[in-house]
Amino acid sequence: MIVALIDSGLGLLPTSAWLRRLRPDLDLMLSLDPDGAPWGPRDEQWVIDRVVGSARLAVDSGAGVVVLPCNTASVTALDHVRAELGPEVPVIGTVPAIKPAAAMCDSVAIWATAATTASAYQAKLVEQFANGSSVVGVACHGLADAIDRGDLDGAREAIASAADRTPVDVTGIVLGCTHYPLVADEIVTQLRDDVVLFDSAEAVAAQTLRRIDALGRDSTGNGTVEVILSGSRGVLPASAASFDAGRLLLTSTR
């Protein structure tokens, strides 16, 4: 079975890598959009059309499951993708791990892009899942862009800036952009030892496998990785090799 993962850039790598670790036989289709990236600042209808189009192309190319490991795609286009593909194709979205963070920590910071930090979407999630914990948003200016470029020095600078602007009483940090787990080790080095990171990549991968199992069909594959770049066959950007998850997937790319 082919699982398609759709994001504008390298934010799909953490969930893809978890799927590779948990089910190395699965065939993965990684659909990136370098021509349209980043999606965050784009008009809502433009994003819907782009994501729905990518999902339709993936299914028409053989994908049996679609994953949106991208907060922008999930909040903007998830319902539209499900309507386009119908109930026979599982579509899994991504939600920042605010609920588990708030369950464990009294004071939480959500690190995200500037657009997500200012969004009604994030405010609604905080309202739903804060559960009495103090939650603050911290905009990580330039971090996702640096990750997409494979610019580790730029990523360190963006992380340092975000760490400086995170309140001292915070004990839990939610990685509210799917790019950020790629530099989780660097983030940890710039935080106090008692601060815990939360991200959703492993949970999204696990949910994907549950949905696959619920189909009751043979999902055994050959462990291949196919890359689609803005609708055409391609290869993962060279910047993917800067990260453990990218190197793991590059070894299987065809």
Active site (catalytic) residues = 70, 177
Encoded tokens for 239: 């910047």
Determine the Cα–Cα distance for residues 162 and 191; give it in Å rounded to an integer. Answer: 10
Between 44-60 and 71-85, two packed helices, what is the crossing angle to 10 degrees? 60
Closest CA to 155 of 127, 123, 181: 181
Torsion sign across C-alpha atoms 148, 151, 154, 156: positive
- How far is Cα 36 from Cα 34, in angstroms, rounded to an integer? 5
CA angle 2, 91, 206 (to 5 degrees): 75
Q: Provide the pairing of β-strand 63-67 with 2-6.
A: parallel
DSSP 5-54: EE-SSGGGHHHHHHHHHH-TTSEEEEEE-TTT---TTS-HHHHHHHHHHH
Distance CA 87, CA 183 (A): 35
DSSP string, 59-108: HHTTEEEEE---HHHHHHHHHHHHHHH-TTS-EE----SHHHHHHH-SEE
